[in-house]
């Protein structure tokens, strides 16, 4: 989640993070930010300190008071060291000073999320389908599979949840932000595209329809 009241900056950050494969929610005031943080499980929060409604430090303290350990990176234009120290003392994991480069923010997000999560796999496998997360290369046996960035995001979600039945609302929540409007069949469209590319050439199907519920991926 990006918490920033400057709409142009928030939109630029959102687009940059989406281009890197993230699903992003934005909040323009402290009250909405607090409600979203308490309601949803985010991988990380980028939090401005100067916010209408409720300032960033108040949001930070409220989130930590509820026992939520989501990594939080403060983004501030303030020069006073005391503000940064207060944020870190209140439970922030890191900070960046405005203006900052997107690649700096991405590096800090990678750093704070690594602290919270166990070592992530670099390769996903389901049957003879492999997905190299470092190179973003997908292979079915010895055959390379060419996918768009959006198809790769879909496939990664399915492979990370192999064996589980995934409902359409679960898929939409994982792969679209709150403000996106999805059509009723958009999930089916992407699954159909993946089936054409992955379950091709007479190979055993890996995508299975659970009638009336959703989809399951597995050998």
Structure tokens at 108: 């800090």
* Whether residues 6 and 48 fall in one domain: yes
134, 93: one domain: no
Length of the chain: 219
Choosing from 74, 89, 116, the residue where a domain stops is: 116
Q: How many domains does the chain have?
A: 2
- 91 and 143 assigned to the same domain: no
24 lies in the same domain as 71:
yes
Query: How many other C-beta atoms are found inside a 10 Å radius of the C-beta of residue 30?
Result: 25
Q: Report the alpha-carbon distance of residue 35 to residue 132 in Å, rounded.
A: 36
- pLDDT score of 18: 87
Do residue 27 and residue 94 come from a single domain? yes
Domain boundary (56, 89, 116) is at 116
pLDDT at 78: 65
Q: What mean pLDDT comes out for the span 14-30?
A: 90
Q: Give me the residue label for tokens 């943080």.
A: 37
**pLDDT tens column, 51-84:** 998 899 999 999 998 888 899 999 887 666 787 8
Q: pLDDT > 90: what percent of the chain?
A: 53
Question: Percent of the chain beyond pLDDT 70?
Answer: 93
pLDDT at 99: 87
Residues 111 and 10 in one domain: yes
> pLDDT (tens digit, 9 = 90+) per residue, 113-123?
887 555 556 89
The pLDDT assigned to 180 comes to 65
Of 168, 74, 162, 150, which is closest to residue 125 (Cα–Cα)? Answer: 162
CA atoms within 13 A on the CB side of 7: 0
Last residue of a domain, one of 116, 138, 155: 116
Q: What is the CATH number of the domain that holds 105?
A: 3.40.50.2300
Query: What is residue 179's predicted lDDT score, i.e. its pLDDT?
Result: 64
| Token pair 């939080």 in the structure block, residue | 72
Structure tokens at 158: 């399915």
CATH number of 177's domain: 1.10.10.10
Q: Which domain holds residue 29?
A: 2-116
163-213, pLDDT tens digit by residue?
Answer: 998 888 888 888 887 666 666 688 899 999 999 999 877 789 999 998 888
156 lies in the same domain as 191: yes
Are residues 132 and 101 part of one domain? no
C-alpha–C-alpha distance, residues 49 and 117, integer Å: 26
Residue of higher predicted confidence among 176 and 22: 22
Give the residue with greater pLDDT, 217 vs 175: 217
> What average pLDDT score do residues 124-142 get?
93
The sign of the torsion formed by the CA atoms of 152, 100, 46, 31 equals negative
């Amino acid at each position: 989640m990006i918490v920033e009241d400057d709409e142009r900056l928030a939109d630029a950050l959102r687009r940059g993070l989406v281009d890197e494969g993230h699903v992003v929610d934005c909040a323009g005031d402290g009250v909405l930010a607090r409600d979203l943080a308490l309601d949803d499980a985010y991988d990380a929060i980028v939090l401005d300190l100067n916010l209408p409604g409720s300032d960033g430090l108040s949001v930070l303290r409220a989130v930590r008071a509820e026992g939520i350990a989501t990594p939080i990176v403060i983004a501030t234009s303030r020069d006073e060291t005391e503000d940064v120290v207060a944020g870190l003392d209140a439970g922030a994991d890191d900070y960046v000073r405005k203006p900052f480069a997107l690649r700096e923010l991405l590096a800090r997000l990678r750093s704070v999320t690594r602290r919270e999560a166990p070592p992530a796999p670099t390769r996903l496998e389901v049957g003879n389908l492999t997905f190299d997360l470092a190179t973003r290369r997908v292979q079915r046996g010895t055959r390379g599979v060419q996918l768009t960035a959006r198809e790769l995001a879909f496939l990664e979600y399915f492979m990370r949840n192999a064996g589980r039945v995934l409902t359409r609302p679960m898929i939409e929540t994982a792969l679209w932000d709150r403000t996106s409007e999805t059509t009723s069949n958009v999930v089916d469209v992407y699954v159909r595209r993946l089936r054409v590319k992955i379950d091709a050439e007479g190979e055993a199907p890996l995508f299975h329809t659970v009638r009336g519920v959703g989809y399951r991926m597995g050998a």
